[in-house]
Chains A and B, each alone.
Chain A
């Protein structure tokens, strides 16, 4: 079974600065998807960014980008120009393409605080 680990329970960043959230995963599969979800205080889960394992190019969505290192099984999220609205719990998630269904395996989460 796949596992996802987020080793930083809490992180903080100054407004307008850059922060990187770490995620590692364990799998024996060669093709899969990785995701970062954001959960603000409203507790609504919001997709931030996704990465296909077979694509070498790192995904980017506006101020959010990833550093995908397939060999190291690492998938970090970089938030540039941090804004107060970025404060949330961030979850890394893995989806297998070799098992049925679209089930996601989530990490434990990183609570991000943005300081004004």
Chain B
């Protein structure tokens, strides 16, 4: 079945440690996104990529890094510079349309907690 796979489902980070969240899609979508969700809040955009080897910062990129070496993959690294990393992280993808009505497909998310 086509879809987006995020792993792991739960992740724990120690102080000063970098951790990487995986996001893989087999939908042949050009665009991929990372959102952060805090309790009682909406989703905020961290990074997005419209094409391989290119990505842009979203609204809260500080303390995060990404890469887009393959169309199918868009991993997110939470660095030690991110002082409040505890949150639910959602990856999404969409086809690249100039009309704007394309649907976003979401993964099932990764809950990151600090030990």
A residues neighboring B (CB under 8 Å): 4, 6, 9, 32-33, 42-45, 47, 50, 52, 91, 95-97, 100-109
- C-alpha spacing A42/B43, complex, angstroms: 16
Q: Could you say which of B16-24, B61-69, B94-102 contacts chain A?
A: B94-102
Please tell me which one of the listed residues B41, B56, B103 contacts residue A101 in the complex, with CB atoms under 8 A apart. B56
Q: Is the CB of A107 within 8 A of B42?
A: yes
- Name 6 A/B residue pairs within 8 A (Cβ), A-sorted: A43-B109, A45-B92, A50-B103, A97-B100, A102-B50, A103-B48
> How does the 8 Å CB contact mask read for B72-107 relative to A, with 1 for contact and 0 for none?
000000000000000010101010110111111010
Q: Is the CB of A108 within 8 A of B40?
A: yes
Report A10 CB to chain B, min CB distance, Å: 10
Please tell me which one of the listed residues B40, B43, B97, B99 contacts residue A106 in the complex, with CB atoms under 8 A apart. B43
Number of A-B contacts (CB under 8 A): 63
Residue B113 at the chain A interface, CB threshold 8 Å: no
Report A109 CB to chain B, min CB distance, Å: 5
Please tell me which one of the listed residues A42, A96, A103 contacts residue B45 in the complex, with CB atoms under 8 A apart. A103
* Beyond A106-B35, A106-B44, 18 extra complex contacts between A and B, CB < 8 Å: A32-B100, A33-B101, A42-B108, A43-B108, A44-B108, A45-B90, A47-B103, A97-B100, A101-B48, A101-B50, A102-B33, A102-B50, A102-B100, A102-B102, A103-B45, A104-B104, A106-B43, A109-B41
Contacts of B56 in A (CB 8 A): 100-101
Q: Is the CB of A106 within 8 A of B42?
A: yes
Report A13 CB to chain B, min CB distance, Å: 20
Report A70 CB to chain B, min CB distance, Å: 16
Contacts of B100 in A (CB 8 A): 32-33, 95-97, 102
- C-alpha spacing A81/B115, complex, angstroms: 44
- C-alpha spacing A97/B100, complex, angstroms: 6
Q: Is the CB of B42 within 8 A of A108?
A: yes
Contacts of B112 in A (CB 8 A): none
Report A30 CB to chain B, min CB distance, Å: 13
Contacts of B33 in A (CB 8 A): 102-103
Contacts of B88 in A (CB 8 A): 43
